[in-house]
A = this chain, B = another copy of it.
Amino acid sequence: MSTMADVAKEARVSVATVSRLLNNLGTVSPETAERVYAAISKLSYEPNLLARNLRKNESRVILLLAPNVTNPYYAHILSGIGDAAANLGYSALIFTTADDLSREREGLEMLKRHRVDGAILMASNLGGDWLLEYANQFPVVQCSEFDPSVDIPHVSIDNYQAAVQTMDYLLSLGHTRIAMVSSENQYLSTNLRLRGYRDTLATHGIEVREDYIAYAAPDYSFTSGKARTRDLMNVDPRPTAIFCISDTLALGAITAAREMGFRVPENVTVIGFDDVEDTTKFHPYITTVSQPCYELGRQSMQLLYSLMSQAKDVPHQVVLPHRLIVRESSAASPKLD
């Protein structure tokens, strides 16, 4: 492995000249440049980023903090971040937390240790104050989930509006017995969707029945979607529509309903959330609220880049459009007894 000094010697110039040439700083005569390039290719020189990074006091690496990478929702966000990062000359370091607080802290330590120049947090469990300590010192962006109590730049959709819109759609189909499969987690999105559900019912003068609200496992698992739907379908009177806060839960709901002998959507309407790819892999294709995952990731990276470049007028909040996609799992309410 040859160094810049080797190249300089070979080309009979100083390291400063080599560096200037490579970085397009200052001026270098054409003849010198040629000699240097010849030396570089002869020695097949490649700059040592460890040295460059130390000198420039930057790593050109960003941290991606996510609960996991196997959930397609995160996978798509990561994909968007990764592409944007590559375009901007950054590498993406991935750090999974399994929703563990100490792991999250461990990840953020990398900022202090100069391993990364900035971080994008997905579904952080850290308290606002804790986060703020980092966000005040380093470029940090929250993607898709965020803590509303502190002012840290974030990118997300409007979860409240999305829920309201979905409920309006269900009401327009004539449903009045509408259940919800929420989750036990503490995410803002969960909260806002539930609030949208409650508020819309209230607005239309429909009683909010607590036994129509089920709480699935924090990770939106398929099996807990099945289990909670079983519970809901045993409530009297039975709901005619089930609004799930994730597609995986909706998948579980459909499977459970069918195993109980109900048809979807003829007997019961099921609606999901996220629109990850599973929604159109079997019938009935799932009616769902589509989130622009890739774009959420891409714009988070853009935002982080602005922060890292110390640009001014960096937006504190970016809200991307969601979309209700009507497919096969929703239909008009059946006649009530």
Q: What is the interface of chain A, defined by CB distance below 8 A to chain B?
A: 1, 46-51, 53-54, 57, 59, 61, 64, 68-70, 72, 75-76, 78-79, 82-83, 86, 91-96, 109-110, 112-115, 222, 248, 251-252, 254-255, 258, 277-278, 280-283
Listed residue (A70, A72, A75, A283) with the most chain B CB atoms within 10 angstroms of its CB = A70
Copies of this protein in the complex = 2
Instruction: Specify the chain B residue showing the minimal Cβ separation from A56.
Output: B50
18 contacts between A and B (CB under 8 A): A1-B112, A47-B113, A49-B113, A50-B50, A50-B53, A50-B54, A53-B54, A69-B75, A70-B79, A79-B96, A83-B96, A86-B95, A248-B281, A252-B281, A254-B282, A258-B283, A278-B278, A278-B281
Tell me, in angstroms, the Cα distance from A196 to B281 when the chains sit together.
Answer: 28
| A61 & B113 in contact (Cβ 8 Å cutoff) | no
| A70 & B72 in contact (Cβ 8 Å cutoff) | yes
Instruction: Specify the chain B residue showing the minimal Cβ separation from A94.
Output: B94
| B83 & A79 in contact (Cβ 8 Å cutoff) | no
Q: How far is the CB of A228 from chain B (nearest CB, A)?
A: 16
| A94 & B70 in contact (Cβ 8 Å cutoff) | no
Tell me, in angstroms, the Cα distance from A64 to B47 when the chains sit together.
Answer: 21
A255's partner among B59, B69, B283 (CB-CB below 8 A) is: B283
Q: How far is the CB of A291 from chain B (nearest CB, A)?
A: 14
Instruction: Specify the chain B residue showing the minimal Cβ separation from A115.
Output: B49
Tell me, in angstroms, the Cα distance from A69 to B92 when the chains sit together.
Answer: 12
Tell me, in angstroms, the Cα distance from A278 to B278 when the chains sit together.
Answer: 8
> Cβ of A48: which chain B residues have Cβ within 8 Å of it?
54, 113-114
Tell me, in angstroms, the Cα distance from A278 to B276 when the chains sit together.
Answer: 12
Instruction: Specify the chain B residue showing the minimal Cβ separation from A63.
Output: B91
| A70 & B61 in contact (Cβ 8 Å cutoff) | no
| A76 & B70 in contact (Cβ 8 Å cutoff) | yes
> Cβ of A281: which chain B residues have Cβ within 8 Å of it?
222, 248, 251-252, 255, 278
Given pairs A251-B281, A252-B281, A278-B281, 5 additional interface contacts (CB within 8 A): A47-B113, A50-B53, A61-B61, A69-B75, A82-B94
Q: How far is the CB of A47 from chain B (nearest CB, A)?
A: 6
Given A50-B114, A113-B47, A251-B282; A78-B93 close (CB under 8 Å): no
> Cβ of A1: which chain B residues have Cβ within 8 Å of it?
112
Tell me, in angstroms, the Cα distance from A164 to B251 when the chains sit together.
Answer: 33
Given A46-B113, A48-B114, A282-B251; A93-B91 close (CB under 8 Å): yes
